[in-house]
Amino acid sequence: MSARRRRGFVLLAVLWVMLGVSAIGFGLALLARRAAGTAYNRRAATRAMWLAEDCASRAEAAIGDALAHGRGDSSATADVVRQSWAGLDTAVATSALMRDLPCARTLLPAGTTIDVNTADDSMLVRLFVALGNAPAAADSLADAILDWRDPDDVPRPGGAEGSWYLAQQRKPPRTAALADVRELARARGFERLTGLDSVLGVEPFRIVLDRAPLAVVAALPGFTGEAVARVADHRASGVPISDLLALSAELSPAARAAMLADYPDLVRLTTSEPDAWILTARGTAGSPPVTVALELELVRAGDRAAIIRRRTWIP
């Protein structure tokens, strides 16, 4: 090999070595940047989590204060605590403990939606009619839900089973209870429907007559248009509904008879106070911001609130 060719070979080898070293350096830089980004996100998420915890702790203290009214007066305690529990969101919102919060917070009553996993076809049809759908369309939507959750592969008249979804190149039904109401967006007929999470849920809570949307109330068995209107009147006047019998006494004979005919089911499905409250706190930290959500489910235990479920997630 001539000296000139040897020099060219050495130069080429040096260039390749430099290229390799540069690639390794670039890769290490990317790894370092990724590690730094991960560490930053972890720190920001930790700060956001503590902000959410602080917000939730303040809300818990405010809830304790709200339920404490009436203690020491044994004759009035039960009623006062029950009333405080029913209006817990208002009491917490006006508490001095909730001023200047470093996070976002919501306190919502359970029992404002129909459990999509246990509702029967007639209840679902009434709900969709109350939402403005024609009876035929309401029947089809109800059938689609029932086919989505049932374990068989026999389609209902307006529904669809796995074969239909596969033919449409769509994911087949779960054939089991829905884990999240957003799953309905994949069911036949629900592709473009929005806002269903305000009337449908996946928790088996009893419906709170003073809190649930009127469309949900209209879906209850035995509730005529007149009965739903009376519920709306109670809300407008700020007078809570004490019980179903008191409400039925305000109705015409025909509407009262319809309600009393389904009274056993209504007692099982409804309540005058929430079975639970859902407290959600969201803390945000860092730039770019990282948000962490903390959710607590609280039930009444005498004159106190007990946390029965806790979960966190990054939205």
Q: Where are the domains of the chain?
A: 43-110+274-313, 116-199+210-271
CA separation for the pair 85, 16 (Å, rounded): 74
What Cα–Cα distance (Å) separates residue 99 from each residue in 84, 92, 93, 95, 302?
Answer: 20, 10, 9, 8, 27
Q: Give pLDDT tens digits for 49-70.
A: 999 999 999 999 999 998 887 5
Q: Is 3 helix (H, G, I), strand (E, B) or coil?
A: helix
Prediction pTM value: 0.81
Q: Bigger pLDDT: 205 or 79?
A: 205
Could you identify the residue written with the tokens 């350096």?
Answer: 25
- For 175-195, the pLDDT digits (tens) are 899 999 999 999 999 998 989
pLDDT in tens, 105-150: 999 999 999 999 999 999 999 999 999 999 999 999 999 999 999 9
Q: What type of residue is 211?
A: R
For residue 206, pLDDT beyond 90: yes
| CA dist list (Å): 72 to 63, 69, 78, 81 | 18, 9, 11, 12
Alpha helices in the chain (DSSP H): 3-68, 77-86, 88-93, 121-130, 135-149, 162-167, 214-218, 225-237, 244-248, 253-261, 263-269
Q: Residue 24: is its pLDDT beyond 70?
A: no
Least confident of 17-31, 113-127, 230-244, 255-269: 17-31
Tell how many helices (H) and how many strands (E) occur in the chain: 11, 8
Give me the mean pLDDT over the 223-246 stretch: 95
Residue 223 — left, alpha, or beta (φ > 0 → left; ψ -120 to 50 → alpha)? Answer: beta
**Cα 196 to Cα 179: distance, rounded to the nearest angstrom:** 15
Give the Cα separation of 111 and 212 in Å (integer): 7
Whole-angstrom Cα distance, residue 116 to residue 142? 10
**127 three-class SS:** helix
116-199+210-271: what fold?
A: Ribonucleotide Reductase Protein R1; domain 1 (1.10.40)
Let me know the angle formed at the C-alpha of 253 by 247 and 257, rounded to the nearest 5 degrees.
75
Half-sphere exposure of 262 (CA within 13 A, CB side): 14
| 209 burial level (CB within 10 Å; 0-12, 13-18, 19+) | buried
pLDDT-derived band at 160, boundaries 50, 70, 90: very high
Whether the per-residue pLDDT at 23 is higher than 70: the answer is no
pLDDT digits (tens, 9 = 90+) for 253-289: 999 999 999 999 999 999 999 999 999 999 999 888 8
